[in-house]
Structures are given as C-alpha cells and as structure tokens.
Structure 1
Amino acid sequence: MQAPFQLVASPEQAGQRIDRLLAAVIGTASRTRVKALILDGHVRRGEAVLRDPADPVRAGALYCVTFPEAIAARPDAQAIDFSVLYEDADLIVLDKPAGLVVHPAPGNADGTLVNALLAHCGDALPGIGGERRPGIVHRLDKDTSGIMVVAKTEAALAALSADFAARNVERAYLALCWGMLSPASGEFDGAIGRDPSNRKRMAVRASGGKPALTRYRTLRALHGAVSLVECRLATGRTHQIRVHLAHGGHPLLGDPVYLRRVPAAARLLGAAARQAAIDFPRQALHAATLGFTHPRTCEPLRFERRPPADFQALLACITANSDGHS
C-alpha cells in the first residue's frame, strides 16, 4: 500500500482549493483521483475528514492523505514476452511485437499487452484510478509492431495524454507500400472517419471525419513496384497511415483491411519477391521512432527500434529480387 502523504500548508498556499494543491504537491495522482479520495473520506485536515474538493487551504494546517490499496485489475496477469527499452517509476517504453493486441476487448479477452504489463510490473504498479492497471496512452494495431509508451501513474498518464493530444510527440513509422509515391515526399491531409459502407473500416471522408495529417518521405524505391516509406504522424486517428496510403493508391503490403486486390505493380517484381509480398501475413508497418518529454523530470526522451525480422526479411527479399521477372 502507498504510504500516507502529509503536508503542512504554508501561508503562500492558503486559500487554494485543496484538491488542486494536493494534486500538485503529490505529483503522482491526478486532480480527478484526488477529488475521488476526498469524496471517499481519505483526506483529513488535522482530525477532521474533508469531503469537499473545493475546501480552501488553511495556512499551518496539517493535511493527511491515505491511499487505499489498489484493487487488482480485471485482466489477469499473463507472462508474455516483449522488449523493454526504458522503465522507471512513472512509465515504461516497450517494443510491441506484431500480433499482440494492446487492450482486452471482445474477441481478445486475454493474451494482450495489458495482461503482459500486469505480469511484468506486478505489485510495483501504483495503479490508475485506484485500480492496479497500466495507463494506455496510445495504441498500435494488433499487427503493427513497434515502440509504445505506457504510464504507470495517473500523473504520467494525464501528462503524456495531454502531450499526445497537443501533438508534442515525435512519432515516425516505417511502411512498405505498393507503387511509387509522387511526389516522393509530401503529406496526406484528409479527414478520417468510419467508412459508411463498412463500419469495420476507416476512410477518408469529405464530411463527418476528424482532421488527420500524415507526412511522408520515400526512403527506398524498389523497381517501381514497392516503396519503403517513413511516415510521421501529426495526428493520431485510427488506422491513419493505412487509410491515407490506401486512399492515395498505395496500400500497405499485407494489409488485410485496405488492400483489396493484388496491385498491378506486383507484376514488376520477380517471382520470389512478388510471392513474398503477396503472402505477407500482416500490414507491413512498424512504429520505429518515439520521442516525448518525461512527464515528471521534463527530460527529453527519444527511442528508435529497427523493424522485426519478418519485415526485414520481406524488404531484403524484394530488394534482392526486384530486378528479375519470371
């Protein structure tokens, strides 16, 4: 259980709302969490239990906050391998393998990244909202590999979520897509919303979508058939890179949702490369770079990770076979 927190209010702090002051000085609990603690009777001023989050702070008064033991999260802890790139008391940065769902949902009740994080962190996880669970700041699709940051505390979750919403985060992805993009570098600026003809898909919408901006640059062009592209997200919409590239006529290799037929560009590859590209079992997308400001220390952090073996093998096969034809 987290140790009680005590504060003797200074004259400079007098008159502030108690929930605002405690959230600021505790540092690991959001204001929403502090409000809940007050309403549940876990904050005292001297011997008096406070029940009003707006109660004005009194100079010289002793305030004590007790933290009830975090209850177990509903998902079970499960030992699932993933690579940890960085970890401290506030957050964890990891390399999510392709095929791993981030959060339990209908059809994926367990075997997710959340289950894996619960096992990895164990009792060292302080909890979010009184529940021992990781704070999912952003998501990657099940079959997208790459770097994610996950919060361990409410304060870290709130700060990181705000930075993502304000676009104060660097995110770069590597993608293998069909065809040659023209121009080789540029941006896709198309609002994204549910596809009205298929609610399981997203689509670029003339109306009813949310603004979405993806900047791209071609890193390698392979015989007019396939491009290795770096995509940088200015927004974070569902399936954003996949939707923008497909809408522009360059769907990702292996994309089970947005690649509807074998593109004509496949004929430009040799037999081995063509078959490898057509048979790739997932979207060829990897979150390669993540940069952000640490929510507590304000230290700039930046991480890079090469694509996994299946992505690299596909790229090597296409590169080696792109000049031959069957």
Structure 2
Amino acid sequence: MAKKPLELDDKILIELNGGRCVTCDYIRESKDGIVVRNSKEAGSEKIAPYNQTFYKTEVKRVRLIQKATPPATQDNAIPSTSQQQQNVLSANNNATGAIPKSPHVETVVNGTVVKKEFNERGIEEIQHRTRNTVHIAQHDDKYHNAIKDLKQQEIIAVHSESKFGRLDMKRPVLSISTTANVYIFDMLRLGAMKKEMKEVMSSDLPRKVVHGSSGLADYLQHKENCALNNVFDTLLVDFNLKKSHEYITLPECYMKYFELPDDFVLQSFDYSVRPLPKNALIRAALNSILLMKLYWHMNDILLKPIFTASKEFAKIYPNVEHQVDLMMMYNNKEHPGSEEIELNAMEHLNTELQLLDVKQ
C-alpha cells in the first residue's frame, strides 16, 4: 500500500478516505489491509492500546514519517523483543502449521505479560462452537432445555448485542455461554422475560460474567423488573489492572488480552433486523465464548501471586522433615529445630495441666 517497502516499527501516517489521519507504528500488511499498533488520530493524544487493521478500501494514502531504530550490529548483540517474537512465531508456524498471527505485542500489567495465545486447536474449537449454537426465538422445548441447563451451571458469560439507553431501551439479543453450550436468546421475539429466566439472572448461581454490567443491569431492572446478581465484570477488572478508569470495549479487551489471528474479526451487525442473519448469530456466539475465556484469563492474572507462592512452597516442601521447620524456612527465619519445638510444646502442656489442678 505504501510506495516504499515498510519495515516493522516504522512510524507512518495513514490518510483515510473520510479525511481522518492516523499516525502509528507499522507491523505488516495482510491480505485485507495494513496492521499497525500505537495508533493515534490527528489532534488527539490518546494512543490505542491494541493492534488495528486498516482495510484497503478505507485507506487513501500511506506515508513514511520515520524509519524504525536499526538493530544492533554486533555479532553478540541480543535481538530486540520484537525480533525475538517474530523469530518464535516464524518457527512455531513453520513447525506446526499454525494459523499465522500478527507479531506478538506484550501487554504488561504490574510487570506481568498478560496476553493469552490460542493455538490452532484452540481456534478450531472456538470456531466449531460458534457454528453449533442454540438460537431461541420462542418458548419451545429449546427454550426450556436451555433454562434447565443454565440453572445447573456455576458460571455463565452473558453478552448483549444491543446498545442500552434509558429513554430507548429495546429488548436485546442475549448471547449466553456455558463451558459446553452457547444459547442466543432473541428477547425482541421472546417478549417480556419469563419467571424462570429472571431466576437465572437474579440468583447467586450461576455467576454472571459480563463486560460493563451497568447497561445490562439497568435494562433488567427497568424493562424486566429483574435484578442482576453475582456479577464478575471484566471492565472493572481491566480498570483495576491498569489503575485507570478509561473505558474499553469488549472487542478492544480481546485485542488487549488475547493474541488472535488477523482474520478473527468481529463484524458489526444491525441486531434490530429480523430474521437475524447467520453471520450475526456467529458473531453473537463468538462474543460470549471469548468473554468466558477472558474471565478465566483474568482470574489467572489476578491469582498469579498465589500461583507463584504455591510453586515456591512445593519446591521447599520435599527438602524439610518437619512442617514447623518448613514454615520457618519459608519465612527466612532462624528456628530452634523440630526437637526443641516439640519439647517446648510439652512443657507448655504440662503448665496448663498444673493450672487446672490448682483450680480444682
């Protein structure tokens, strides 16, 4: 798309057909367009924290602003992080035939890399599930079987494919994913929420994984007279991890926390049109499936200190003979040894028995 060949991390200016201009760092060209990162629109200081793809149909011109910093020339120089990532990706793709991915961009939270990669099998599993969803538009056997299944779950991911507004609160398309199934409830066709579905939303179990739960809670409260309880809000987790209250959409969250193939694009659809096209149902299913995976990945990030401590604990345990010694060793404290500790315990017990005799 550019007149001269571009290299990784070249600073470029992309002029779009609508008159917008974006400065960004070049990653590579795909079959659909140009993949970039650190993009910033003209007149704005906000830098997008995720990779973006600008399609050939929307790009008017690409201009080189600044060449990337050349790599070190010494024979023993350590490759840059981006070079190492490219080498690893190339080796993995050649060895396993995995789906090509854009170069891995690390998202760091408190010094921890948090991006999750999906191998070829993982991608195929997600795609298979999106094609095997249960679309529910009437109160038939499918509806009742779905409600029965949801009531037996401990965790479900709930995503709405419609925007909420207090003055114009239309019934949405709800995509609900369990660990095994995906149900798409067309609330516009189903009408007012029935008692059994309200019970799913308002009960303590299952736990509901939601991104930006305020809109869904507002809709349920004012349109369906139903409370939303026991919520895990991935938006609030993102706020906590980055120590900022800057809003991020669910697709942006996927780009930030996941390493997905370039063709894993979530298209936008008009969910007010009926019948719903197949691609719209696939997108709805994909959102709730990835939302569930985002839940587990965020749990891994939040619990990493526990995992690290457990790993260290397991390393120390086989090297000691007494559990009291173990705790002393783990806390880097000097200790008298197990025999003296046991003698002290016996003396303490004898003292307690003597006091009991005096009271008698």
TM over 0.5: no
Structure with greater strand share of residues: 1
Radius of gyration: which is bigger?
2
Structure with greater helix share of residues: 2
